[in-house]
Amino acid sequence: MTDVNRLAEMIQSASAITILTGAGVSTASGIPDFRSANGLWMEDRSREYYMSNRYFSKNPIDFWKKYKEIFRIKLLQNYEPNAVHTFIKDLEKIKKNIFVITQNVDGLHKAAGSREIIEYHGSLDTASCPVCGTKVSFDQILKEDVPHCINVSCGSIVRPDIVLFGDPILKHNEAERCVQSSDLLITLGTSLQVSPFNLLPEYAVYDCGIPAAIVNRELTVMDSLFSCKIHGDLSETILELGREVF
C-alpha cells in the first residue's frame, strides 16, 4: 500500500476532517510561497519589519506602498483556485464535514466554494478603519494608492484585515474547536514554522487523540507527529489522491 492509498483510506473512514493549509496550496495558482526555502521572505527579512503593526502605526503611507508590492495586490484579482482547492471543496460532495483552517490570506478557499473556513491570518480582500471600524472593499483598496475610510465623517487611513507582525492571533480557539470536532487532521502545503498555527497538529494528536497526515514538498520539524507523511509535489499528489477518493 502506498502512502497515497493510506491517506485515501483515512479520508474514506473519517466523517469530519480538519484541513490545515499553507502557502504551498496556492503556489499552483501563481501566488509565491513566502516561507519556503526559496520563498520571498528569505529575500529580505526587513519585510517582517515593514509588515508590522508598529510600522503601520508609524508610517501608514509607506506601509501601504510596501504592502501592495509584497502581496502583489494588483495581481490578486487574477488568481484562481487550483486543483488542491477544488479537491478540498469536493470532499464536501461525498458527505464529509470539512473544516478548512488556512494560513493563506488570498481568499482562494472562499473562491473555490468551501463552506467552513477559518482564515487564521485574515484576508487581503478587505481593510478596516482603525478609528470608526468601517469596512473597505478590495475594489476600494485597488482604487487608492493609500486607501482611506469611505465614511465621509472619518477619512482615516484604513488597515488591512490581515494579522500583521505584532498582532495577536484571535482565531486560535476557534481553530481548536474545529479540531476537537474532527476525527482526522490533514496538513497541506505548510512548513509549520509559524506559531501558534503549528501547535494545531500537536493539539490534534496529543490532546484530541485523532490521526494526522501531512502532504508537503519538504520535510518539516514536526513530521514525527503524523502517522501518514507524503513529501513531493502537492498538486500531483492531490490528483492521485482524488482518483483514489472519488
If DSSP codes are grouped into helix, strand and coil, which group holds residue 165?
Answer: strand
Q: Do 100 and 52 share a structural domain? A: no
Q: What is the pLDDT of residues 167-189, one digit of tens each?
A: 999 999 999 999 999 999 999 99
Please report, for residues 19, 75, 125, the alpha-carbon distance to residue 129 in angstroms, rounded to integers and kept in the order given.
31, 23, 14
Please report, for residues 56, 57, 67, 85, 101, the alpha-carbon distance to residue 197 in angstroms, rounded to integers and kept in the order given.
23, 25, 22, 20, 9
Q: How many CB atoms lie within 10 A of CB 95?
A: 7
Q: Do 151 and 110 share a structural domain? A: no
Q: Do 241 and 139 share a structural domain? A: no
Q: Do 136 and 20 share a structural domain? A: no
Sign of the alpha-carbon dihedral angle for 99, 180, 186, 34: positive
Q: What is the pLDDT of residues 94-133, one digit of tens each?
A: 999 999 999 999 999 999 999 999 999 999 999 999 999 9
Q: Which one of 121, 148, 172, 231 is the catalytic residue?
A: 121
Q: Do 24 and 38 share a structural domain? A: no
Q: How far apart are CA 233 and CA 55, in angstroms?
A: 36
Q: Which region among 48-52, 115-119, 148-152, 165-169 has the lowest average model confidence (pLDDT)?
A: 48-52
Q: Do 228 and 142 share a structural domain? A: no
For residue 60, whether the previous peptide bond is cis, meaning omega lies within 30 degrees of 0, is no
Q: The domain that contains 136 carries what CATH number? A: 3.30.1600.10
Feature table: binding site = 129, 132, 149, 154
Q: Do 223 and 130 share a structural domain? A: no
Computed over every residue of the chain, the mean pLDDT equals 92
Q: Do 88 and 18 share a structural domain? A: yes
The pair phi, psi for residue 196, each rounded to 5°, is: -95, 5
Task: Choose one of 137, 162, 187: the last residue of a domain.
Answer: 162
Q: Give the domain range for residue 20.
A: 1-30+81-121+168-246
Global pTM? 0.92
Question: Angle, nearest 10°, between helix axes 3-13 and 234-245?
Answer: 50
Active site residue 121: yes
The total of structural domains in the chain comes to 2
Q: Do 243 and 189 share a structural domain? A: yes
Q: Do 224 and 173 share a structural domain? A: yes
pLDDT band at 49 (very low <50, low <70, confident <90, very high): confident
If DSSP codes are grouped into helix, strand and coil, which group holds residue 35?
Answer: coil
Q: The domain that contains 228 carries what CATH number? A: 3.40.50.1220
Task: Choose one of 136, 162, 188: the last residue of a domain.
Answer: 162
Feature table: binding site for Zn(2+) = 129, 132, 149, 154
Q: Do 91 and 43 share a structural domain? A: no
Task: Choose one of 134, 162, 190: the last residue of a domain.
Answer: 162
Q: Do 133 and 197 share a structural domain? A: no
